Amino acid sequence: MTHRNRAALFFALLAAAGFFSVFFMAGVKPAGVLAATMLLAWLLVDRLIFAPAALMAREAAYLAQTKGTARAPIYPGRHLLGELVAAQKKLAESILSSRGEFNAQLEKATRQSEEQKRWLEVILVDLAEGVLVCNLNHQLLLYNQTATRLFSAPEAVGLGRPLFALVSRAAILHSLELLEHKRRTGLPGADDTLPFLCATADAKRLLEGRMGLILDAAGKTTAYVLTFTDMSNKTEELERAAKVRKALTRDLRQPVANLRAASETLSGFPNMDAKARLAFEHVLTEESARLSERLDELAASFRGHTLGRWPMGELHGADLISCLDRRLAPAGGPHVTLIGMPLWLQADHHLLLLMLAQLLRRLARRFHIAELDAETKLGDRRVYLDLIWRGEPVTDQELSSWLKEPLEGAEGPETVFDALERHGAEIWSQAAGGGYALLRLPLLAPMSAPVIKHEPDRPPPRPEFYDFSLLAQHADAGDLAERSLKSLTFVVFDTETTGLRPSQGDEIISIGGVRVVNGRLLTGETFERLVHPGRTIPPESIKFHHITDEMVKDKPPIAIVLPQFKSFAGDAVLAAHNAAFDLKFLHMKEKSTGVRFTNPVVDTLLLSRLADQHLADHSLDGVAERFNVDIPDRHTALGDALATAVVLVRLIEILESQGITTLGQVMRLTNMAAQMRATQENF
């Protein structure tokens, strides 16, 4: 309030005091005089101070709660607020001016964004490739119409829809991990895209794909772009080109050789007119030599380049076998079951599928086989694809005759041998032991994928967890005690959790499991569920498993998922690495879910201690490295369960060589080891 306004207020109060004196001298009672004076003072203060202040408060609220452009601000006329009104006027003008500039810039940015969006939509529409943009939760953020035509279920293509309802998971996760590894380590090509092959979710076809990362201003990956190409048309074109090349480099070679021989023979006939004979000989000899030389040049230019001219790409073993089994099913072919940990390989997927399907049909007819196993094994710079059946091996003579047969489904006179030659591979049959035989096909190992070791900053493994009383509840093998380990059915499982303390409120957020039957890892029989924990997931746990609150917000609770897992496990022997940890979480949910696990349980950590007592590292990473088992999806429930299953199969082989062959023996020895270990922990 300025000095002038203070003076005005003083004189107003002085006037009120004067009125009080006049009324008092006129004989009005003091109480009445006081009341009249106070009323007059209140009216003056309210009119000149309170009412203007209230108006300014309303205008300030209006300015704060609206865009402030609907009407001009209103300010009091006569008032005693001094410079406050003028200051608020300047503030309002500044706010309105800033808002106007902001709205102008926003409108300009919106126009630019809309223009860029229209350009992007036009570009995407014109692209022959299907384009999908996904966030790190693998949900669709953007797609084009070509993408909807690539998949059998176009209704599954939509904003926010899960990517893995369209394509298989393994190829995407592998490519994303590889690109992230290149970006973090600064390897050459870190900014490049990565090609791959993958199957559609229904395994009806294979797609040629390419992935690129989308980075924010800080260089952190926020999303990724996928492009897919339908390989059917490209494969037909390549087969037609192969037919032409074959005609130039192989099929015409014999006629040309005959032409040269005829010309040479003609030159030796003495009965022809000398002049005509000389001209004829000159033409035939020169033209045939020129044609022969040209064909030799063409053959030399094509030789050694066939592999590069065909769509050789990285292909996951699970995708290959899934598509092969689906291809054989309509014709009543043998059922193919993938066992073991599937590996990546480099192949021309189209010819490989044609070749394998034809060989397996021949094999099924020859030995009356209804089903067989397929397994990928890592060799010296090769991936061995083994096709295993109960029976005798194929003889070399019979296999050689199969390789000479025309390749069904290929254009032109392509043979099985031609398909093998394109992969630079041979195939042979041999006994596999135990009354089994196999066909072994060595294929190229992926060229672009480096061996991804666990980085030093990667979260450490779970601490070893021993609860002898808990393990003792699952130590009774019952009727299975005398059964050999290889004859049993195991369900190997793993959990991911919000933390390491189930008794203090930590919850399960993911369960993964896989079946092992008769010593065979059935990769196709898996269980994988995300679980809503009913609480937030701590950031320190997300560093392990990368499962966020957003990923589980629409997932079912444990009360629904645990009965599903119980149904999957059935009466099988349960197996896990550091099993007491996972069992503790299951037992904590018995009352709330009504699900009780009474299955026998084996712990691969304890089995490792039993098999290799002289070694110190029995963590899952340590045992996997010892057995040369790759864990591409480490710290995911299913990825760890698959790795543990491979480890279990290898450990069973070692234990059998040591004379430990039955489940009863294993249960007694591992429970003794657990009790001793728990006792050691107390000292």
Strand partners, 215: 221
Q: Residues 610, 674: one domain?
A: yes
Confidence of residue 155 (pLDDT cuts 50, 70, 90): confident
Model confidence band, residue 284 (pLDDT cutoffs 50, 70, 90):
low
More confident site: 666 or 674:
666
Residue by residue, DSSP assigns 514-541 as: EEEETTEEEEEEEEEEE-B-SSPPPHHH
Mean pLDDT score across all residues of the chain: 78
| Residues spanned by the domain of 473 | 468-681
User: DSSP letters of 481-500?
Assistant: TTSBGGGSEEEEEEEEES-S
Could you tell me if 491 and 436 lie in one domain?
A: no
| Residue 15 predicted with pLDDT over 60 | no
Q: What is the pLDDT of residues 502-523, one digit of tens each?
A: 888 899 999 999 999 989 999 8
Verify that 543 and 649 share a domain, yes or no: yes
Tell me, yes or no, whether 418 and 516 share the same domain: no
Predicted local confidence at residue 51, as pLDDT: 82
Cβ burial, residue 34 (10 Å; 0-12/13-18/19+):
middle
As given in the structure block, the two tokens for residue 231 are: 């390989």
pLDDT (tens digit per residue) in 96-138: 778 778 877 888 777 776 666 666 665 666 677 889 999 998 9
pLDDT of residue 379 exceeding 90, the answer is no
- In terms of DSSP H, where are the helices of 445-548? 468-472, 539-545
Same domain, 21 and 134: no
Question: Quick check: is 98 in a domain?
Answer: yes
CA gyration radius for the chain? 40
What single-letter DSSP state applies at residue 191? T
For residue 546, the model assigns a pLDDT of 84
- State yes or no: pLDDT of 351 exceeds 50: yes
Mean pLDDT of the region 225-230: 88
Q: Taking residues 173-193, what's their average pLDDT?
A: 69
Which strands, in side-by-side order, build the sheet including 573-576? 520-530, 508-517, 489-497, 573-576, 601-603
Quick one: 71 and 204 in the same domain? no
Q: Is residue 281 part of a domain?
A: no
Q: Contact at 8 Å (CB) between 666 and 660? A: yes
- pLDDT at 484 exceeding the cut of 60: yes
Residue 444 has pLDDT above 90, yes or no: no
Task: For residue 478, give both structure tokens.
Answer: 């019952």
Give me the mean pLDDT over the 584-608 stretch.
Answer: 91
Check pLDDT > 90 for residue 604.
yes
How much of the chain exceeds pLDDT 90, in percent? Answer: 27
Number of domain units in the chain: 4
Q: Verify that 172 and 60 share a domain, yes or no.
A: no
Residue 334: band (very low, low, confident or very high) from pLDDT cuts 50, 70, 90: very high
Q: Specify the CATH number for the domain of residue 497.
A: 3.30.420.10
Q: Is 138 a catalytic residue?
A: no
- Contact between 335 and 325 under an 8 Å Cβ cutoff? The reply is yes
CATH number at residue 185: 3.30.450.20
Residue 360: the pLDDT is 94
Whether residue 274 lies inside any domain: the answer is no
Task: State residue 102's pLDDT score.
Answer: 80
25/82 same-domain check: yes
Max distance between CA atoms of the chain, in angstroms, equals 170
pLDDT confidence of residue 118: 64
Asked if 533 and 550 touch (Cβ cutoff 8 Å), the reply is no
312 phi and psi angles, rounded to 5 deg: -80, 125
Residue 291 lies in a domain: no
Instruction: Mark which of 210, 233, 256 sits at the end of a domain.
Output: 233
The residues, ordered by sequence, that sit 6+ positions from 201 with a Cβ below 8 Å of its Cβ are: 151, 153, 164, 165, 166, 167, 168
- Contact assessment for residue 318 and residue 338, using Cβ atoms and an 8 Å cutoff: yes
Confidence (pLDDT) at 306: 44
Classify residue 255: in a domain, yes or no: no
Whether residue 93 is found in the same domain as residue 195 = no
- pLDDT one-digit tens code per residue, 88-98: 788 877 877 78
Residue 609 in any domain: the answer is yes
Q: What is the mean pLDDT of residues 256-279?
A: 65
Three-state SS at 2: coil
What pLDDT shows up at residue 449? Answer: 46
Of 27-41, 155-169, 206-220, 283-297, the least confident: 27-41
Phi and psi at residue 441, to the nearest 5°: -120, 110
| 632 and 495 in a common domain | yes
| Single-letter amino acid, residue 421 | E
Please tell me whether residues 502 and 649 are part of one structural domain: yes
What percent of the chain is predicted at pLDDT more than 70?
Answer: 70
Question: Tokens 């772009």 belong to which residue?
Answer: 225
Domain boundary among 95, 123, 151: 123
Q: Binning pLDDT at 50, 70 and 90, where does residue 438 land? A: very high
For range 587-598, the mean pLDDT: 91
Q: Give residue 236's pLDDT.
A: 53
> Are residue 410 and residue 337 in the same domain, yes or no?
yes
b/e sequence 624-639, b meaning 16+ C-beta within 10 Å: beeeebbbbbbbbbbb
**Which amino acid is present at 598?**
T
Question: Does residue 146 register a pLDDT over 60?
Answer: yes
**Boundary residue ending a domain (73, 99, 123):** 123
Contact 107, 127 (CB under 8 A): no
- Cβ proximity of 505 and 535 under 8 Å: yes
In contact, 134 and 164? CB cutoff 8 Å: no
Domain harbouring 350, CATH code: 3.30.565.10
What pLDDT was estimated at residue 359? 93
Structure confidence at residue 305 as a pLDDT band (50, 70, 90): very low
Band of the pLDDT at 662, cuts 50, 70, 90?
very high
CA distance 369 to 31: 118
Whether the per-residue pLDDT at 57 is higher than 70: the answer is yes
- With CA atoms as reference, report the closest residue to 444 among 468, 464, 420: 420
Note whether residue 252 is domain-resident: no
In a domain, 244, yes or no: no
**Cα(550)–Cα(267) distance, integer angstroms:** 86
